[in-house]
A and B are shown apart, each in its own frame.
Chain A
Amino acid sequence: MNHNPKIIGASIPRLDGKDKVTGRALYTDDLKFPGMLYGALHRSRLPHARIKKVDTSAAKKIKGVKDVVTGADTPQIKYGNWRLVPGSQDELPLAVDKVRFIGDEIAAVCAVDRETAIKAAEAIEVEYEELPAIYSVEEATAEGAPLLHDESPGNVSLTREISYGDLEGLLAQADYVREDFFKVHAVSHAYLEPCSSIAVPEEGGRVTLYTSTQTPYIVQCLLASTLDIPENHVRVVKTQVGGGFGGKMEMRPWEFAAAFMALRTGRPVKFTLTRSDELAFGRRRHPMSIRSKVGFTKDGKLLAKDFEVMLDGGAYNAMGPTATFLCGTFGNMLYNFQAYRYRGRHVYTNKPPASAMRGFGAPQAAFAQESQMNMAAEELGIDPIDLRLINAMETGDVIPDVATISSCGFKESLEKVRQVSGWDAKRKEKKPGVGLGIGCFSFISGGVFNWFNTKYNFAAAEVTVYPDGTAQLNTMACDIGQGPDTVLRQILAAELGIGIEKIRLVSMDTALTPKADLGTWGSRVTLMNGNAIIDAAKKIKDMLKPVLFDHLDLNQIHEIAFEDDRVLVKANPKKSMSFGECVYHALRGRRGEPLTARGYYTPRDKGLVSPAFSFGAQVAEVAVDQDTGLVTVTNTYTAHDCGVAINKMAVEGQLEGAIQMGLGYTLSEAFVMEQGRTLNTSFLDYKMPAAEDMPPSTYVEVETYEPEGPFGAKEAGEGLAIPTAPAIADAVYQATGFRALELPITPEKVLKGIGRLK
């Protein structure tokens, strides 16, 4: 716990802030290159059909069109993030024989300007043989349902089962058993920056792709495999990214189309999506149908849980397999119980594919789990916070075969949130139309799983130090707004004992940064990249320490410290030299070889899920208008254990943003779908909370020290997106007597629930 409080735990403003407030920060669509062409896609107009013929002749005749490609022109190699299971890779960049959702990409064009490209894409004629389509997991898994993919009978692409303990025995023995059914819906990531990509051809059949992504390494590998060229022929450079939230963690068809046509035409090709493309065809959070059965003793000890989930995956796997695994994992987090059975099925439907979205299965699983805890508490006559305290995980607890909890501030979070929310008093005073409810969460700090089947370490860092006292950090880690460009420099600055302003950052360029980094997802960046950076910095320090021993003729029992841009003898800090001088001497001693070191991190022997888990509890206060059914969240209180917060302001930013997303998920955001078509394709019709919709928020940090985390840190990005829905649902029940088992909680559902609307 030896760290510099001026750096670790400080609210250091993000280092790219100035560029972003002055308009200098460059996002992909801000770039242009000489000779650049503009791309457009032709997408399927039907939800399920066989492609009989694609006629591009009219498009090719339009003046200014430089290339038109269909699936037939491409190498036709399937891709998907789950390289470990090749059979799960079910997507083609451009459809060949079949389309499976409205928006499935069929052809791409590029032209001298955007308008011509759009005109050409529209001029492409597709002859379809329409097939029957299915829109829900129930229809898709029914006997005789039409198949989306021939390889997946029953439209189930993947089943995940977990089972331990004597489930039937314990449920039979339980004093109190309940079974409930929950349904949650799809929402959009709604990052403000629509996706954009530019491919620039290079000599030797190579290509550089500038792209709005949260996983440059994954894009590099999958672009190479789908283009059928060596991985090293593809360089991916991430520009500033205007938000991702899980929606930019796969290779996308327009990235392929840009690169493919750039190589064919010898000219740079740019694709930028529109907001209506994003909302109509973009990835979204998985809708799920959840059945949960739990058994308790009469004094509230949770004994066993039977948890069954069907994920509506849409037309392709995308990140669905991971969500299917994680739902099962999150289904047995937070509480200790002896028996658990999970069965998760990932189901295909003729809708835009669902994929990873902030929380990755946890918001859905927790809505069921936490709502059910609240329902059980009422029936058992135990306060919901007390019921959780009876069952809460603690440091050192073991989830059988899955993980050991190396740090856990869950009980402290429950106590704190009880206190700051005024829980005990407010729950007693029952006022009609006003309520207080609770939801809790736990989340992973990165996954130990290697579904991408990388041959490299999960995170890597290269550090070089210079005689002028500065350093350079090369990392593939990806800042998509959450702040690692700042936080990772804080970690390096703290470890090397130099000022954060001394560090130049080279990031997210697959050709210039060490292999590899799996990207920004699963709340992995701070822990994994932070550890890789510390590893590299320690190697640098080992190169520098001999200089002091030599110059000061030190006894070998001494320890050397690195602080305030100086290298010093710990026991006698007056004996020191500047960091730069020390590097200078070390460099002389190495006869010109630069002081560069690489560090790595791969979680090993850390169970099956994650090296570390965050915990927390949130209370929401609502007012419900009994005439209109409108729910207004009037306050939120959150207590949160993210280990040591490296940058407090950044953690608060994650919390406040997560509440906005959670609020939208619970109350106002939803896709309106009709026969596989998304009808609300603008922010006017897709309603995410604006500034005036946000409730005041109180936040307490419960600090623990995570031994596996850099300087004791663990995740803060996603867990906070989990508790808001169950907390609001519980508060609405307290206010009205209506218990929502389906999201979103619309005024219509509330009015029906309280008998004011038939």
Chain B
Amino acid sequence: MAKEIIELIVNGDRYEVAVEPWRTLAEVLREDLNLTGTKIGCNQGDCGACTVLMEGRSVSSCLTLAAEAHQREIVTIEGLAQGPEDLHPLQEAFVEHGAVQCGYCTPGMILSAKHLLDHNPTPSEQEIRQGLSGNLCRCTGYSKIVEAIGAAAAKMAPAGEGE
């Protein structure tokens, strides 16, 4: 099948890529743009390791065709920190709270958490757990991930809100 040219805006940078219509966003991010922070854990839309934000919504990039992302704003894990030492509060909290072990689910977890906090800046523990319902982890038992997200929410909340 013929390739088509699509335009992706990833972490603020514009890319033009020629892709077969069946290629997924996860593959194009990893293989064409070398943004390998996005992980493929199942390629079936079940594990959430490939989660990215598209126009602010969290999506499984393994179930999203690259062509669907044409001219959309994508945020991947590489786009979250302002600089190598200037981590996003979620990233910082994941490190500090021991929410990372093998790290393979981590990029997807953080982007799902970002989506959650963007829409609900002061989530309850239950809401955090619900927010992670599409992300599987086999190392941590989730508790330190939930803790980290709570801590990041508290830190990011404007004065007077949160704890």
Contacts and interface: CB of A to CB of B under 8 A. Distances in A.
A242 B78 contact: no
A242 B102 CA distance: 5
Interface string A20-34: 111111110110000
B154 to A, nearest CB: 18
B100 A692 contact: no
A691 interface: yes
A482 B138 CA distance: 11
Nearest to A696: B143
Contacts of A657: 101, 138-141
B35 interface: yes
B105 A192 contact: yes
Given A684-B46, A692-B129, A193 B140 contact: no
Contacts of B76: 23
Given A275-B41, A661-B138, A23 B77 contact: yes
Contacts of B44: 275-276, 682-684
Contacts of B78: 22-23
B91 interface: yes
A17 B42 CA distance: 23
A222 interface: no
Interface stretch (A8-16, A380-388, A424-432): A8-16
B47 interface: yes
Interface in A274-293: 274-276
Contacts of A194: 40-41
B144 A17 contact: no
B104 A652 contact: no
A18 B145 CA distance: 15
Contact of B140 (A20, A22, A23, A656): A656
B42 A245 contact: no
B124 interface: no
A690 interface: yes
B100 A193 contact: no
A245 B46 CA distance: 21
B98 interface: yes
A24 B107 CA distance: 10
Contacts of B98: 11, 13-14, 649-650, 652-653
B106 to A, nearest CB: 5
A23 B37 contact: yes
B42 A692 contact: no
Nearest to A697: B143
Contacts of B53: none
A561 to B, nearest CB: 31
Given A653-B144, A660-B138, A193 B39 contact: yes
A21 B100 contact: yes
Nearest to B36: A30
A39 to B, nearest CB: 16
A481 B36 contact: no
B30 A30 contact: yes
B81 interface: yes
B96 interface: yes
Interface residues of B, number: 55
B109 to A, nearest CB: 9
A669 to B, nearest CB: 11
Contacts of B133: 690-692
Given A22-B81, A480-B102, A656 B129 contact: no
A701 to B, nearest CB: 15
A276 B144 CA distance: 29
Contacts of B38: 23
Contacts of B104: 27, 191-193, 242-243, 481
A658 interface: yes
A683 B140 contact: no
Contact of A193 (B37, B41, B90, B132): B41
B130 interface: yes
Interface string B39-55: 11111101101000000
Contact of B102 (A26, A192, A656): A192
B135 interface: yes
B46 A481 contact: no
A25 B103 contact: yes
B144 A688 contact: no
Nearest to B38: A23
A695 to B, nearest CB: 10
A659 interface: yes
Given A17-B95, A274-B43, A656-B144, A481 B103 contact: yes
A24 B140 contact: no
Contact of B94 (A21, A481, A652, A658): A21
**Majority DSSP secondary structure for residues of B touching A:** loop
Given A18-B87, A22-B87, A27 B39 contact: yes
A11 B96 CA distance: 9
A240 interface: yes
A192 B49 contact: yes
B105 A691 contact: no
B13 to A, nearest CB: 15
B136 interface: yes
A114 to B, nearest CB: 9
Contacts of A366: none
B145 A22 contact: no
Nearest to A686: B46
A190 interface: yes
B30 to A, nearest CB: 7
A691 B103 contact: no
B25 interface: no
Contacts of A22: 37, 77-78, 80-81, 84, 87, 91
B117 interface: no
B46 A683 contact: yes
B36 A23 contact: yes
Contact of A21 (B35, B110, B144): B110
Given A16-B103, A683-B136, A21 B95 contact: yes
Contacts of A314: none
A18 B143 contact: no
Nearest to A14: B100
A242 B42 contact: no
Contacts of A177: none
Nearest to A242: B104
Interface string A671-691: 000000000001110001011
A595 B91 CA distance: 38
A144 B92 CA distance: 62
Contacts of B100: 14, 17, 20-21
B95 A243 contact: no
B103 A240 contact: yes
B146 interface: yes
Nearest to A279: B42
Given A23-B37, A194-B41, A690-B136, A697 B77 contact: no
B144 A13 contact: no
Contacts of A304: none
Contacts of A690: 132-133, 135-136, 142
Which of A23, A29, A189, A482 lies at the interface centre, i.e. has the most chain B CB atoms within 10 A of its CB? A23
A655 B98 CA distance: 13
B87 A653 contact: no
A653 B42 contact: no
A242 B137 CA distance: 10
B143 to A, nearest CB: 5
A726 to B, nearest CB: 19
Interface of A: 11, 13-14, 16-27, 29-30, 189-194, 240-243, 245, 274-276, 480-483, 649-650, 652-653, 655-661, 682-684, 688, 690-692, 694, 697
27 contacts: A14-B95, A14-B100, A18-B87, A21-B106, A23-B35, A23-B38, A26-B36, A189-B138, A192-B104, A193-B41, A243-B104, A243-B138, A245-B138, A275-B41, A275-B43, A481-B102, A481-B103, A652-B144, A657-B138, A660-B138, A683-B46, A688-B136, A690-B133, A691-B133, A691-B142, A694-B143, A697-B141
What are the nearest 3 A-B pairs in CB distance?
A23-B37, A481-B102, A242-B104
